[in-house]
Amino acid sequence: MTRVFHRHLRSTPPVAVSAAGMRIYDAAGRSYLDASGGAAVSSLGHGHPDVIAAMHAQIDRLPYAHTSFFTSETAERLADELIRTAPEGMSHVYLVSGGSEAVESALKMARQYFVEIGQPQRTHFIARRQSYHGNTLGALAVGGNEWRRAPFAPILVAATHLAPCYPYREQRADETPEQYGLRLAAELDAAIVAQGADSVIAFVAETVGGATAGVLTPVPGYFKAVREVCDKHGVLLILDEVMCGMGRTGTLYASEQEDVVPDLVTIAKGLGGGYQPIGAVLAQRKIVDAMSKGSGFFQHGHTYLGHPVACAAALAVQNVIHRDGLLEKVRADGRALGAMLRVALGGHPNVGDIRGRGFFWGIELVADRASKRPFAPALKVNATIKKDAMARGLLCYPFGGTVDGVHGDHVLLAPPFIASREDLQEITRLLT
Ligand code: PMP
Distance 102 CA to ligand 1 centre (A): 9
The more confidently predicted of residues 332 and 399 is 332
Buried b (16+ CB within 10 A) or exposed e, 382-402: beebbeebbeeebbbbbbbbb
Cα–Cα dist 133/418, whole Å = 27
With cut-offs at 50, 70 and 90, classify the pLDDT of residue 213.
Answer: confident
Where are the chain's structural domains? 16-49+324-431, 55-323
Distance 143 CA to ligand 1 centre (A): 10
For 149-160, the DSSP string reads HGGGGGGSPPEE
Mean pLDDT (the chain, rounded): 95
User: Is the distance from CB of 14 to CB of 30 less than 8 angstroms?
Assistant: yes
pLDDT > 90 in the chain, percent: 88
268 CB within 6 A, ligand 1:
yes
Cα–Cα dist 192/170, whole Å = 21
Neighbours of 197 (CB within 10 A): 14
Q: Which atom of ligand 1 is nearest to the CA of 101?
A: 16
Q: pTM score, two decimals? A: 0.97
Average pLDDT over residues 201-216: 92
pLDDT tens digit sequence for 83-137: 999 999 999 999 999 999 999 999 999 999 999 999 999 999 999 998 999 999 9
Phi-psi region of 200 (alpha: psi -120 to 50; beta: other; left: phi over 0): beta
- pLDDT at residue 369 greater than cutoff 90: yes
Distance 213 CA to ligand 1 centre (A): 13
pLDDT tens digit sequence for 3-51: 888 777 777 889 999 999 999 999 999 999 999 999 999 999 999 999 9
Per-residue pLDDT at 383 = 85
Distance 197 CA to ligand 1 centre (A): 28
Per-residue pLDDT at 402 = 47
Q: Which atom of ligand 1 is nearest to the CA of 136?
A: 16
Burial of 172 (0-12, 13-18, 19+ CB in 10 A): exposed
Which CATH class for the 55-323 domain? alpha beta
- pLDDT at residue 1 greater than cutoff 80: no
Cα–Cα dist 409/272, whole Å = 29
134 CB within 6 A, ligand 1:
yes
Of 175-189, 372-386, 390-404, least confident by mean pLDDT is 390-404
Cα–Cα dist 89/72, whole Å = 24
The predicted complex's ipTM stands at: 0.99
For ligand 1, atom 13, the nearest C-alpha belongs to 99
Average pLDDT over residues 230-244: 98
Per-residue pLDDT at 214 = 84
Q: Which atom of ligand 1 is nearest to the CA of 206?
A: 3
User: Is the distance from CB of 358 to CB of 332 less than 8 angstroms?
Assistant: no
Phi-psi region of 184 (alpha: psi -120 to 50; beta: other; left: phi over 0): alpha
Which CATH class for the 16-49+324-431 domain? alpha beta
Average pLDDT over residues 54-70: 97
Average pLDDT over residues 411-424: 97
Distance 173 CA to ligand 1 centre (A): 33
